[in-house]
Amino acid sequence: MTEQSSNQMWGGRFAAGPDAIMEAINASIGFDKRMAAQDIAGSRAHAAMLAATGVITDSDAEAIREGLLTVLSEIERGEFQFSTALEDIHMNVEARLKEIIGEPAGRLHTGRSRNDQVATDFKLWVRDQLDAAESGLLALIRALLAQAEAGADWVMPGFTHLQTAQPVTWGHHMMAYVEMFGRDLSRVRDARARMNECPLGAAALAGTSFPIDRHMTAQALGFDRPAANSLDAVSDRDFALEFLSVASICAVHLSRFAEELVIWSSAQFRFVTLSDRFSTGSSIMPQKKNPDAAELIRAKVGRIFGANTALMMVMKGLPLAYSKDMQEDKEQVFDAADNWMLALAAMEGMVKDMTANRDSLAAAAGSGFSTATDLADWLVRVLGLPFRDAHHVTGSLVAMAEKKGCDLPDLTLEDMQSVHAGITQDVYSVLGVDNSVNSRQSYGGTAPDQVRAQIARWKEMLP
Ligand code: ARG
């Protein structure tokens, strides 16, 4: 390996530069350049504070401010030359600042360290992603509400064990996902509120002897307060772990809905038709329309939860305070965030575009003896049978219908009475699927009135 000159940022005590392999394992610029805007925002806040507290002069602060704006615009225009020798985004920005403004650039790093700098940048980045997740979730919830409203009283089979259980309404099924994504939304908001403390000014680990004002930088960067303990501030990655945990739970919800869309869009079910915009064709089978977006959303939980596991393992057992292990946090979070946002947007698009096939839903709702529970309940309510006996009588009637190859409402009154003599014509009033769903008026139940109440409650709560 050829010897290079030592690092211009920290090489004072070094006679030789790093081995190429050292540089390769050490550098993070290949990925942490995504935090350039956050890094520059943090430096601007820090420089302004250093001037306000008299640590640097106003004219140095002004030169730093203008220089940083130039660096930012170079990065935004794609003109910035990122250097691996300069390791990371923090030193790349500072080195370029020095080229532009000269000596005052060297004063920017007073009273701070890359340890509090990276924690601050990364928090700002994660905070932006929590805000993006909030918008994505709200848009998805709105799309689900529109589906629920359109089909509040459309009947479909409800399943347990993926076996037909009892009829439910389309609106009810959509609103179940609104509840899930609503809890994800509240987890996103909780995580944001908890993480919003500023690490800047914790310096390397112990704080600084300069008379800095951490409240001022915290406020300038939109944090609620400075982090209270400098050791914790530089070594905390809970905010990233919590982001990945929240993302993982939401990805699980997305995968469950995606799985249902895959099943529902199959020729065997035909419950929904996905739009052309969110489907793909097959290169060999001309008839195919594949639910690829749903399948990919179903799979995203793998990498998102993988990132969660990876960072948990990186952080496990790390002694205080900062260790370079923590540089492994970013790629996991970046990848998980990108894929979470994409999955949310794709799901919103699919839900907005999809058509529920009301007739197929209704036909399936009536099959599979889905109103057997209603029959048993009628035997209890009208004939006064204990539920266990009613369950038994109904089971015999289901067996009879199965043998005859018909559904429960197709059995004659004579058939019914051969199993239990007390059954009257009135029983047919509960055997229809619409009667069944309309009777489920308990709070949160599937009756269209209840579903409309759920929709109204959500509409009131949404911003
Ligand atoms: N690139 C580093 C990271 O992402 C920045 C902090 C480096 N701090 C240090 N003391 N070497 O973690």
Distance (Å, whole) CA 87 – CA 49: 26
Which residue among 89, 90, 114, 323 is best mutated to probe the pocket of ligand 1, counting the most ligand atoms within 8 A of its Cβ? 114
Q: What is the pLDDT of residue 82?
A: 98
Say if ligand 1 is within 6 A of residue 351 CB: no
Residues 307, 319 within the same domain: yes
Residue 387, in any domain of the structure: yes
The CATH number of residue 77's host domain is: 1.10.275.10
pLDDT band at residue 3, thresholds of 50, 70 and 90? very low
Residue nearest to atom 3 of ligand 1 (CA): 327
- Work out how many domains the chain is built from and give that number: 3
Spell out the residues 6+ positions from residue 119 whose beta carbon is closer than 8 angstroms to its own.
199, 202, 233, 234, 236
282, 323, 367, 396: the active-site residue: 282
Residues 384, 326 within the same domain: no
Say if ligand 1 is within 6 A of residue 116 CB: no
Say if ligand 1 is within 6 A of residue 234 CB: no
Residues 101, 118 within the same domain: no
- What's the whole-number mean pLDDT along residues 255-267? 97
Residue 14, in any domain of the structure: no
Beta-ladder partners of 226: 198
Residues 94, 145 within the same domain: no
Say if ligand 1 is within 6 A of residue 35 CB: no
Domain membership of residue 338 as a residue range = 114-209+222-363
Residue 90 appears among annotated catalytic residues: no
Q: Can you tell me which atom of ligand 1 is nearest the CA of 122? A: 4
- The token pair at 31 is 């990925």
pLDDT band at residue 2, thresholds of 50, 70 and 90? very low
Q: Is 90 exceeded by the pLDDT of residue 402? A: yes
Other Cβ atoms less than 10 A from the Cβ of 301: the count is 23
pLDDT band at residue 127, thresholds of 50, 70 and 90? very high
Residues 355, 393 within the same domain: no
Q: Which of 302, 334, 363 is the last residue before a domain boundary? A: 363
Residues 178, 95 within the same domain: no
Say if ligand 1 is within 6 A of residue 88 CB: yes
Using CA atoms, how far residue 220 sits from 48, 135, 217, 225, 287, in Å, is 9, 24, 5, 10, 58
Spell out the residues 6+ positions from residue 39 whose beta carbon is closer than 8 angstroms to its own.
89, 90, 93, 117, 121
Residues 319, 288 within the same domain: yes
Q: Is 90 exceeded by the pLDDT of residue 14? A: no
Residue 201, in any domain of the structure: yes
Measured torsion, CA atoms of residues 32, 36, 39, 40, in degrees rounded to the nearest 10:
160
Distance (Å, whole) CA 382 – CA 369: 20
Measured torsion, CA atoms of residues 288, 292, 293, 299, in degrees rounded to the nearest 10:
160
pLDDT band at residue 76, thresholds of 50, 70 and 90? very high
Residues 350, 403 within the same domain: no
Q: Which of 328, 363, 398 is the last residue before a domain boundary? A: 363
306-340: b or e for each residue (b if 16 or more CB lie within 10 Å)? ebbebbeebbeeeeebbeeebbebbbbbbbbbebb
Residues 86, 48 within the same domain: yes
Say if ligand 1 is within 6 A of residue 454 CB: no
Residue 7, in any domain of the structure: no
Residue 279 appears among annotated catalytic residues: no
Q: Is 90 exceeded by the pLDDT of residue 331? A: yes
- The token pair at 431 is 């055997």
Arithmetic mean of pLDDT over the chain: 95
Q: Is 60 exceeded by the pLDDT of residue 453? A: yes
What tens digit of pLDDT does each residue of 197-215 get? 999 999 999 999 999 999 9
Q: Is 90 exceeded by the pLDDT of residue 432? A: no
What tens digit of pLDDT does each residue of 231-248 get? 999 999 999 999 999 999
Q: Which of 88, 107, 126 is the last residue before a domain boundary? A: 107
Residue 5, in any domain of the structure: no
What tens digit of pLDDT does each residue of 277-297 get? 998 887 777 777 899 999 999
Residues 228, 282 within the same domain: yes
The pTM of the full predicted model, rounded to 2 decimals, is 0.93
What tens digit of pLDDT does each residue of 341-371 get? 999 999 999 999 999 999 999 999 988 788 8
What tens digit of pLDDT does each residue of 18-38 get? 899 999 999 999 999 999 999
Residues 99, 229 within the same domain: no
Residue 11, in any domain of the structure: no
The CATH number of residue 266's host domain is: 1.20.200.10
- What's the whole-number mean pLDDT along residues 165-173? 96
Residues 346, 391 within the same domain: no
Q: Can you tell me which atom of ligand 1 is nearest the CA of 28? A: 1
pLDDT band at residue 5, thresholds of 50, 70 and 90? low
Residue 91, in any domain of the structure: yes
